[in-house]
Amino acid sequence: MTAPIGATVHRIVGGSVLIDGALHRTDLLIDRGRIAAVESAGTADTDAGHVPTPGPGTPDEAASGATVFDATGSIVAAGFIDLQCNGAGGTDLTAEVADDDGAVERVARVLPRYGVTAFLPTVVTAPRRVRDAAIAALCEHDEPTRRDAVGATPLGLHFEGPLLSPGHLGAHDGAHITAPTSDEIAAWIDSNVVSLVTVAPEVDGAVDVIRQLAAAGIAVSAGHTAMSPAAFASARDAGLSYVTHLYNAMAPFNHRRPGPIGAVLADDRVTAGLICDGLHADPAAIRMAWRALGPHRTSLVSDAAAPLGGPFGRFHLGTLEVVYDETGVRTVDGVLAGSALELDRAVRNLVEFAGCSLTEAIATVTSTPADLLGLVDRGRVAVGNHADLTIVDHEGRLEATIIGGRVGWRS
């Protein structure tokens, strides 16, 4: 029997499971939202040597619609993780989260149709009250109570700004560019729901901010920047570990002034995000980055805005009005303002643009972002990990998304 949308899956059979970069003909057993066993040739590999059974008070899986998912002929991978998602389905998180506590949930419910099982709700440069409201929304988000629909899991917030370069704003509102105060930084740390912060390392005070956040376990990224290689090195030594949408909203490369692009591509210690739609960066630029970074330092992101999943029209990105048409998502002045890129399409694009294998491309949206965030129970298919799985065909076309053992989307 094949599981319908919303069903609890107890077993996935027949597929080629992507484990540690290689495909294996194995079956997966799922119990209470976790991978309970990886079966191969009739044996089960579990920590305890057996398949766990529901304990007292745990809903009976068979009685609640648990079933078998037939993945014959398909690839079963860890669920896709998007580190930069500004919105989807008409909802812009920055514009709406302060006044609507359902904004994050609405975005979460759109993402499974693109293979995304977990994401960082991203708030662009805005007044502090917006960031405070986003923190409150994430603190109140209670995953176990979401039984009526299956949505991607918010792993924490990505604050893209407000400490950015005024000369490389992109689609950020310059009126709100500022250095976060010491009490706001303390609030981010104390909340335990801020996972990633984008700053421009060359701006006054940025290195101190990077050092404080990194010491508290928050990933810090360079973005919207004109940083020199020297500024990049200082930021990296202070704990910088990521680069937000490499190429975009940053000073261009020059062989005498390599700037942020040259500094990042010449380094071997940071991970870089890429918007792989052929619009934010030419396919040749994607190939160049891939040759320098490879699957373990490339993180594909959607940078999706409110138009993701919807028709052409007018929307918002924070305080700015944006237009979505055949040229992409742009401000009324024509500046790129996020995207409507589906993450599963980005994976297929990377295979086409860079000439890499599908398994390498999948790593950029699974194990690589998980490693950046320090997650040990997501991003890989392994016993004990969350049963977040993305199932694709051998061309990378999405067939199903499973989140916490429940079917969130299927073709």
pLDDT 10s digit of each residue in the chain, 411 long? 468 889 999 999 999 999 999 999 999 999 999 999 998 734 434 343 333 333 333 333 444 455 899 999 999 999 999 999 999 999 999 999 999 889 999 999 999 999 999 999 999 999 999 999 999 999 987 654 445 679 999 999 999 999 999 999 999 999 999 999 999 999 999 999 999 999 999 999 999 999 999 999 999 999 999 999 999 999 999 999 999 999 999 999 999 999 999 999 999 999 999 999 999 999 999 999 999 999 999 999 999 999 999 999 999 999 999 999 999 999 999 999 999 999 999 999 999 999 999 999 999 999 999 999 999 999 999 999 999 999 999 999 999 999 999 999 999
In angstroms, the CA 86 to CA 136 distance is 17
Cβ–Cβ under 8 Å, residues 223 and 274: no
Its domain, for residue 317, covers 80-373
Residues 403 and 345 in one domain: no
Query: Which CATH number fits the domain that encloses residue 18?
Result: 2.30.40.10
Residues 87 and 73 in one domain: no
The helix (H) or strand (E) run that includes residue 324 is strand 320-325
Residues 254 and 275 in one domain: yes
315 domain residue, yes or no: yes
Q: Is 99 part of the annotated catalytic residue set?
A: no
Count of structural domains within the chain: 2
Residues 13 and 129 in one domain: no
397 domain residue, yes or no: yes
Query: Which CATH number fits the domain that encloses residue 281?
Result: 3.20.20.140
1 domain residue, yes or no: no
Which backbone phi and psi does 361 adopt, to 5 degrees? -65, -40
Residues 64 and 95 in one domain: no
Residues 176 and 303 in one domain: yes
Set 92, 303, 371, 388: catalytic member: 303
Residues 300 and 217 in one domain: yes
Cβ–Cβ under 8 Å, residues 21 and 359: yes
23 domain residue, yes or no: yes
Residues 311 and 354 in one domain: yes
Residues 133 and 95 in one domain: yes
30 domain residue, yes or no: yes
Residues 49 and 138 in one domain: no
Residues 327 and 279 in one domain: yes
111 domain residue, yes or no: yes
Residues 263 and 178 in one domain: yes
| Unique residue bearing structure tokens 């040990």 | 376
pTM, two decimals, is: 0.93
